[in-house]
Each structure stands twice: as structure tokens, then as C-alpha cells.
Amino acid sequence: MKKLSKLTILLLALMILGTGTIVFAEEYKSYGSYQEALEAYKEAKYKRIRKIKEPIIIEAEDFINEGMEREPRTGEIPKVEIVADESANGGKYVTNWKERYHYLEYKVTVPETGLYSLTFRYRIPRSERETGFFVRGMSVNDVEPFAQAGRLTLPKGETMPGSAQILGDPYFDWTVQKVKGQIDQYLEEPYLFYFEAGKEYTVRLTSRGGGIDFDYFAITEAHKPTPKALVGLKRMWEMLMASFKAPKK
């Protein structure tokens, strides 16, 4: 028993010497599909954070790490460019973030434990205006919260008023979008992500296709749950409209 205790002390001492401290990291939970995540949230009675004094904004240029999840096609590791621009939230934005598997990592903390939404502010560069999709993957502490978090779709947004006349082609303006998912055939809602107060998380955002000018992402208020009655009404409405469109025999 004494030998075991001495061995344990020796191992702990080596850990302290190697790291300077002992940290027992709690792994971020992954729930499989988003539907499974919602069921787990409900069972655990996680609170939806409905009010935040100010959104928790993480500026795009404040990344702590940049890299590739796979070998780059060109052989060269791409690097984002930080551009000064008064129209950006903090006076700067990140561009040249388009190659697939190119990631940026950020540190995130929240003031209250619970469920939050994820919001992006970005715009589509003129060089990417013909691109059909803009997708980013998200992981927290190297774990995808649910399968759909690996492919978060960003809508193109609106073109800048008058850009077609002044510049000769449409120029996309900055847009602020909560990342949403198709809950079922009839319902689309913002995804919910669980964070605990007092913990520092590493959030990795990875390009899955399509280049964007990236201003910031934010941890924002969760939406109210959609009443089942409204979902049922929407389904009935869809069925009614489909019946009118159906060809008559």
C-alpha cells in the first residue's frame, strides 16, 4: 500500500513538473444528432438563456490559433488576412478564409450556465458571389456538440442597395445571422449550444466551403421553444397548400 502511495505521489509530481499545474479537463459532451441533443437538454433541465445584458461578441481577428485539419491542396498552409475597415464591428475583419478544413480557434466564456444560440456577422466577397453555399463547422474543446454542428450553413444575405448600379454588379452587405437547422420537415430554428459559467472553452470554426469576410461571432440569447400546436398548424397549412397545387385528375 505504501509503495502504491509513493508511486501515486511520484506520478503527480511528474505531472506538476511537466505542466506547472494539474488540470482535470471535463470533456465537452457530444449528443449525436441535434434531435438527440434537444432530448438530452430537456432531460437535464438545461435552462435557455433568454436575456443577456450584452451579446458575448468574439471578434474574428482575435483568434488564438489557425491551421488546417487536412493537408492543403496547394501544399501551402493558407493564412487569413486581417483588414482594417470602419464598417466592421471592431474596425477590423478577417478575409481569405475559404479553403476547406482551414480553421480558426477562439477562447469563449459565458456569464451564466445554460443554452445559447450562435450568431455570425459576415458578408460575401465579390469574388465569392457565384458560390452556391457557405458552410462552417463548429467544435467545442475538440468535440462537435452534435452532428449538424459540423456543417452550419450561412445564408448569403442581402446585396448592398445600389451596388448593381454603382459598381456594375451586386455587392453583398454585412449580415447578422443566427445559425439555424431544420428540426423536422416543417420547422426551422436556431441551434442551441450548452455552456457553463466559470469555464473557458476553445471554440474551433472550420471552413467547409465558401469564402466569407468574417467580422465576428457571438454567443446570443436562446429562442423560445416553438409550441407543438404551432408546429401542427404549420403542418396542416403545408398539407392544405400542397392539395391546391396537386394536379387534378
HSE-CB of 79 using CA atoms within 13 angstroms: 4
> In this structure, what are the phi and psi dihedrals at residue 228, rounded to the nearest 5 degrees?
-60, -30
Tell me what pLDDT residue 18 has.
47
Q: Is 29 exposed, middle or buried (0-12, 13-18, 19+ CB in 10 A)?
A: middle
One digit per residue, the tens of pLDDT, for the chain of length 249 reads 444 455 444 444 444 444 443 333 457 888 999 999 999 999 999 999 999 988 899 999 999 999 999 988 777 889 999 999 999 999 999 999 999 999 999 999 999 999 999 999 999 998 888 887 899 999 999 999 999 999 999 988 776 555 544 445 567 889 999 999 877 766 789 999 999 999 999 999 999 999 999 999 999 999 877 655 455 555 555 566 666 665 555
Tell me what pLDDT residue 242 has.
63
DSSP 61-120: GG-SEEEESS--TTSS----EEEE-TTSTTSEEEEEE-STTEEEEEEE--SSSEEEEEEE
Tell me what pLDDT residue 25 has.
41
Tell me what pLDDT residue 228 has.
52
Domains annotated on the chain, with CATH: 33-226 (2.60.120.260)
Nearest CA among 44, 50, 34 for reference residue 183: 34
